[in-house]
Amino acid sequence: MKLLRSLTKALLLAMFLVFALFPLFWILITSLKGGQEIYAFPVRYWPQTPTFDNYRYLFRISDFSIYFRNSLVVSLVASVGAMIISVFSGYALSRMRSRRPKFVLLLAMYFTQIIPTYMLMSPLFISLAKIGMTDSLIGITFAYVSMMIAFSTIMAKSFFDRIPVALEEAAMTEGCTRTQTIFRIILPLTLPGLAAIFSFAFVNIWNELFLAVMLLSSNHKMTVPVALNSFISKAGVNWGVLSAGIVVALLPTMIVFAFAQKFIIMGLTEGAVKG
Amino acid sequence: MKRSLILLVAFTLLFSAAASAQTITLNMLEVITSPERTALLNTLIAEYEALNPNIKINLISPPYEQSDQKATLMLNTNQPLDIVEVRDYTVKQFVNNNKLTDLTPYFENWPGAQTLSPVADASARIVDGIPYLVPHGIFIKALFVRPDVLEKYGITEMPETVDELVEMCIQITDPAKNQYGFAWRGRGPTMKYSDLFASVYVKEVADAEFIYSEDEEFFLHPDYKKGMEAYIRLYKEGTPPDGVNWGFNEQVNGFVAGTTPFLIQDPDTIPLLNSMLGEDNYIVIPLPVGPHGFTVIDYGFGGWGIPSYSKYKDESWDFISWITSAEKNGYFAEHWGPLPVHTTTFEINDHFQGKHYQAYAYEMANPDVYLLKTYPLASPKWPAWSASHETDIQSVLLGTITLDQLLQKWHDYWTK
Amino acid sequence: MQKRGQRYFFLIMLPAFALLTLFIYYPIFQGAVIAFQRYTLFDLTSTPFIGLDNFKAIIRDINFPFFQILLNTVIWIGVSLVFQFVLGFALALLMRKPFRGRGLYSSLVFYPWALSGFAIGLVWAWVFNGQFGMINDILIRLGLIKMPIGFLSDPRYAMMSVLIANIWYGIPFFAIMLLAALQSVPEELMEAGKIDGAGPVRRLFSITIPYIKPTIISTTLLRTMWIMNFPDIIYAMTGGGPSNATNILATQMINKTLKFYDYGQGSAFGVIIMALLFSYAIFYLYLTSEKEELL
């Protein structure tokens, strides 16, 4: 009986994995195919003559390493920034007692999520142009942090909600200030949640396209999604190089995920929570 | 003491005199962006900078899908820009918003203006007859054919009229063998294809200013309807059903795979086909004509303009006239794809005497059969037309509306 | 003591709100104003206020029937959400207990979330390609169909295809969030349930789900908003076609701006989206605020 259950579980897990992976497999083999093989039908599931030409093109003709570096710096800085700010605002929203302001502030956070980014683009560009922040990696980092704050705060709040207030009250009666309490006691308990917030912020910023295209101009400031998008031209999509680009662009996000998994799956020690 | 002071002052003056011959940076925005063309432009820019050490050119290359938006945004907020790539679709809009410089005084002193081909000159002056741009590439269509595929079905003669093309496509179509005839364009500028069938059926178009005649009843003209019926028949019996969603990529893929051995496209398809198919495996022939012995060549173009607020107009013009000279433009067009803009280029550059360009040259040399006409790009009804035409064609092909309803709708749109 | 505590909270929220005002609230206000002007790129020198004309034009548009766009939007959000949640929850439950290789497994099975929207759209468009696509290839090889199906060009299949791509994309979000929440359910509670004789299904519905309710509520609400505002996949796969079959409010907003050069109507769509989501959010929060958990 138990064997049957484990087998079913393994089968289901395998099915999820195949479903998730097969497009990646597809991109991977496309990136290793030469020009004419890509359009063969019936489909060839393994390139007859695998080649690294696409990857070579990526790093030789387009300055992919520069874009990669830009994206990395901007994404890391903005994600960390968003995480820090959201820790504070998430905590505040969680612990606030007066219902009216709490409801209004929460609504203000959700409000930012109903905004189609597309609608922001032009006005944002015009405002930033006025203060000379266009074509600036610093400017776009600030823009990205702002975009991530609301979601990060909402998530942070829900994780803080699960930690009983009793814990802080206990610590504060023993003489800790509120800030000390946050850092020494509460934060360690929400590490899985913070890891999740960080990884989501990182991925969203890493993949953000529209703002990057509009706000950045100089070639040496471009980010990865813009570079990927540039492989679509009037002549259509350069599938080989684009696939190679997607594979390379995936690596940091997969690494961030792998890193965050450790915290998320780590699990909480119930003792500290309930005790 | 006094002497060293004088020396110091002298040196300072000398230094500032030298420093005043400083470098000027020109900001240049391209919109028909592709990695290959950006590399090409960078090569040319480097060459120009070597010849002009006090000029530096900063090339801005947004991805093609967002480039028009970016250009519009930058121009409308007066972002520092000295050279901007203008296209047939965007020139009127830029002029309307007073963002382009009138280049007439420059044209008057430019020898290159004399050797522009008629198409190129028409492109430069497309708005109110005033040159707002210098064209650097002309896009006109011709018919690409796979003779090897046709041979399998015993066809050796090439179609010369639109009706012959339709019949040939239907003849070789065999869905069971995944063999069709025509590489359909379902997404993107769909009217550039449908009107090659519909408009050419209408005799009055020959004398009209645009591809649509001024006649109020144009879309209700019985001959226009006949042309549309031919086009629809082509879809139903000679095209893969999936074609209604096909864009440039799919057209080319279908052609390369042999599924659709007839493809109507611009000359920048040639380098692509050479690499995907090999240059000896296809031919290019002039467009088939309509029943009245003519067809319409809608010319698309790209060109360089100077923003009205640029601070370095003379320097920008110097670069523009250099890069669009017969020689440089020939080099540019050769590696990018479209036709060069000077008649002299065809003579001095071997590449354009190649076999695949003969069809285009023939079309440009016989303007009484291959009539140069555009669409009413300057009309405020144009932008919305371009977008809803695609949906309309899809609807009529999928059977959601009848052809008569469609034509009535089009008629109402333009006469409203 | 009470008041000082409250002030502390407001103070630490200041940086967040400063940034939000500058980069979001102010620009969106400007964007919303455009919805009430005639604002076409064709002639930016004259942008008069025209009241509700943009909205009227949208609702009366015969080329892109508004009702169909609304219906598509509801289907898009509803179906995506349900499948993403159910499948994501299932995956989280399966992964809850540690097993060998779980770390590696999670970094692989969650990666769809790491792809950019336009990459997903392109890849799935290629998978569903009516001529060279993998799905057609497999179906033909299995003998299920004789000729390739134009998934993206046939109105009957287009919506289904974009939905599959979107569901594929959204499962990791729910899986990760719900997994983290599941981790926090105290073991003692589960033990108590077992002792009481509750089977696994009963434990799931009576203990686990109520415990992670806050997470469920906030994730589903957020995901609804994101699905509405994430047209990248549809746009890259079908552009809203064929013949308006996959057009949702957000894709039409993009079309109006990019193809029709009409920023006024584009903004009007944006305003409609925001109004709908806003009402939905209030309604949703009100409904669930009966229980203490959310607020």
Clarify whether residues B223 and B252 are in a common domain. Answer: yes
- Residue A139: closest C-alpha in chain C: C23
Residue B264 CA: distances (Å) to CA of A18, B143, B147, B196, B229 = 41, 5, 15, 10, 19
Q: Indicate whether C129 belongs to any domain.
A: yes
Q: Give percent above pLDDT 70 in chain C.
A: 96
Confidence (pLDDT) at A253? 84
Q: Indicate whether B6 belongs to any domain.
A: no
Clarify whether residues B156 and B282 are in a common domain. Answer: yes
On average, the pLDDT of chain B sits at 88
Q: Does B386 touch chain C (CB under 8 A)?
A: yes
Largest Cα separation within chain B, whole Å, is: 100
Domain ranges of chain A: 1-51, 63-269
pTM of the model: 0.83
User: Which residues, other chains included, contact B33 with Cβ-Cβ below 8 Å and sequence gap of 6+?
Assistant: A230, A233, B61, B62, B63, B64, B67
Instruction: Please name which of B96, B303, C107, B283 lies closest in space to residue A263, comparing C-alpha atoms.
Output: C107
Clarify whether residues B162 and B201 are in a common domain. Answer: yes
Q: Domain range holding B103?
A: 24-140+300-348
For residues A93 and C221, give the distance between their C-alpha atoms in angstroms, rounded to a whole number: 18
User: Which chain C residues are within 8 Å of A208, Cβ to Cβ?
Assistant: 116
For residues C230 and C113, give the distance between their C-alpha atoms in angstroms, rounded to a whole number: 13
Measured in angstroms, the CA of A203 and the nearest CA of chain B are apart by 21
Q: Give percent above pLDDT 90 in chain B.
A: 47
User: Which residues, other chains included, contact B395 with Cβ-Cβ below 8 Å and sequence gap of 6+?
Assistant: B401, B406, C243
- Say yes or no for a CB contact (<8 Å) between C153 and B178: no
User: Which chain B residues are within 8 Å of C241, Cβ to Cβ?
Assistant: 187, 245, 390-391, 394
User: Which residues, other chains included, contact B49 with Cβ-Cβ below 8 Å and sequence gap of 6+?
Assistant: B55, B56, B57
Q: Does A120 touch chain B (CB under 8 A)?
A: no
Measured in angstroms, the CA of B73 and the nearest CA of chain A are apart by 7
CB B261 within 8 A of CB B336: no
Clarify whether residues B327 and B245 are in a common domain. Answer: no
Handedness of CA A165, A171, A175, A179 (dihedral sign): negative
For residues B397 and B392, give the distance between their C-alpha atoms in angstroms, rounded to a whole number: 9
Clarify whether residues B124 and B175 are in a common domain. Answer: no
Residue A274 has pLDDT above 60, yes or no: no
Clarify whether residues B108 and B205 are in a common domain. Answer: no
Banded model confidence at residue A271, pLDDT cuts 50, 70, 90: very low
- The CATH number of the domain holding residue C197 is 1.10.3720.10
Clarify whether residues B193 and B328 are in a common domain. Answer: no
Handedness of CA A65, A67, A69, A72 (dihedral sign): negative
For residues A76 and A275, give the distance between their C-alpha atoms in angstroms, rounded to a whole number: 36
Give the tens place of pLDDT for each residue, A37-73: 776 666 677 777 888 888 888 888 777 889 999 999 9
Burial pattern C228-260, b for ≥16 Cβ within 10 A else e, equals: bbbbbbbbbbbbbbbbbbbbbbbbbbbbbbbbb
Q: Domain range holding C155?
A: 69-263
Confidence (pLDDT) at A142? 93
CB B263 within 8 A of CB B143: yes
Instruction: Please name which of B113, B184, B182, B120 lies closest in space to residue B150, comparing C-alpha atoms.
Output: B182
Clarify whether residues B339 and B391 are in a common domain. Answer: no
Length of chain C: 295
CB B52 within 8 A of CB B44: no
Q: Indicate whether C200 belongs to any domain.
A: yes
Low-confidence ranges of chain C (pLDDT < 70): 1-5, 289-295
Q: Indicate whether B44 belongs to any domain.
A: yes
- Say yes or no for a CB contact (<8 Å) between C250 and A124: no
Banded model confidence at residue A267, pLDDT cuts 50, 70, 90: very low
For residues C126 and B211, give the distance between their C-alpha atoms in angstroms, rounded to a whole number: 35
Confidence (pLDDT) at C192? 82
Confidence (pLDDT) at C137? 85
Residue B103 has pLDDT above 90, yes or no: yes
Secondary structure letter of residue B159 according to DSSP: P
User: Which chain A residues are within 8 Å of C107, Cβ to Cβ?
Assistant: 254, 257-258, 261
Number of folded domains that form chain C: 1
For residues C264 and A21, give the distance between their C-alpha atoms in angstroms, rounded to a whole number: 42
Q: Indicate whether B19 belongs to any domain.
A: no
Number of folded domains that form chain B: 2
* The two structure tokens encoding residue B60: 């801005």
- Say yes or no for a CB contact (<8 Å) between B394 and C62: no
Clarify whether residues B319 and B407 are in a common domain. Answer: no
Banded model confidence at residue A36, pLDDT cuts 50, 70, 90: low
Sheet-wide strand order for B283-285:
B262-265, B142-145, B283-285
C-side interface with B, Cβ within 8 Å?
A: 40-45, 62-64, 130-132, 146-148, 150, 152-155, 238-239, 241-244, 255, 257-262
CB B259 within 8 A of CB B246: no
- Residue A230: closest C-alpha in chain B: B63
Secondary structure letter of residue C88 according to DSSP: H
Clarify whether residues B109 and B169 are in a common domain. Answer: no
Q: Which residue in C10, C14, C20, C273 has the most chain A C-beta atoms within 10 A of its own C-beta, making it the best mutation to test that interface?
A: C20
Residue A275 has pLDDT above 50, yes or no: no
Tell me the Ramachandran region of residue B129: left when phi exceeds 0, alpha when psi lies from -120 to 50, beta otherwise. left
- The CATH number of the domain holding residue B48 is 3.40.190.10
Measured in angstroms, the CA of B45 and the nearest CA of chain A are apart by 15
Q: Indicate whether C38 belongs to any domain.
A: no
Instruction: Please name which of C90, C294, C12, C85 lies closest in space to residue A162, comparing C-alpha atoms.
Output: C294
Query: Which residue do the tokens 């960080």 mark?
Result: A198
Confidence (pLDDT) at B18? 55
For residues C52 and C54, give the distance between their C-alpha atoms in angstroms, rounded to a whole number: 6
Clarify whether residues B31 and B172 are in a common domain. Answer: no
The secondary element (H helix, E strand) that includes residue A151 is helix A137-161
Backbone angles phi, psi at A52, to 5 degrees: -100, 15
Instruction: Please name which of C124, B272, B334 lies closest in space to residue A36, comparing C-alpha atoms.
Output: B272
Confidence (pLDDT) at A272? 28
Banded model confidence at residue B14, pLDDT cuts 50, 70, 90: low
Residue B90 has pLDDT above 80, yes or no: yes
Q: What is the CATH number of domain A63-269?
A: 1.10.3720.10
* The two structure tokens encoding residue B12: 């300072």
User: Which chain A residues are within 8 Å of B268, Cβ to Cβ?
Assistant: 234-235
**B221 burial class (0-12, 13-18, 19+ CB within 10 angstroms)?**
buried
User: Which chain A residues are within 8 Å of C210, Cβ to Cβ?
Assistant: none
Backbone angles phi, psi at C59, to 5 degrees: -70, -30
What subunits make at least 3 CB pairs under 8 angstroms with C?
A, B
- Say yes or no for a CB contact (<8 Å) between A40 and C9: no
Q: Indicate whether C166 belongs to any domain.
A: yes
User: Which chain C residues are within 8 Å of B391, Cβ to Cβ?
Assistant: 63-64, 241, 243-244
State which of A1-10, A76-85, A192-201, B6-15 shows the largest mean pLDDT. Answer: A76-85
- Say yes or no for a CB contact (<8 Å) between A23 and C282: no
Q: Which residue in B235, B244, B385 has the most chain C C-beta atoms within 10 A of its own C-beta, making it the best mutation to test that interface?
A: B244
User: Which chain B residues are within 8 Å of C63, Cβ to Cβ?
Assistant: 388, 391-392
Give the tens place of pLDDT for each residue, B254-297: 898 888 999 999 998 888 888 888 889 999 999 999 999 999 98
Clarify whether residues B164 and B51 are in a common domain. Answer: no
Q: Which residue in A230, A231, A237 has the most chain B C-beta atoms within 10 A of its own C-beta, making it the best mutation to test that interface?
A: A230
**A 151-210: CB under 8 A from C:** 151, 153-155, 158-159, 161-162, 178, 192-193, 196, 200, 203, 206-209
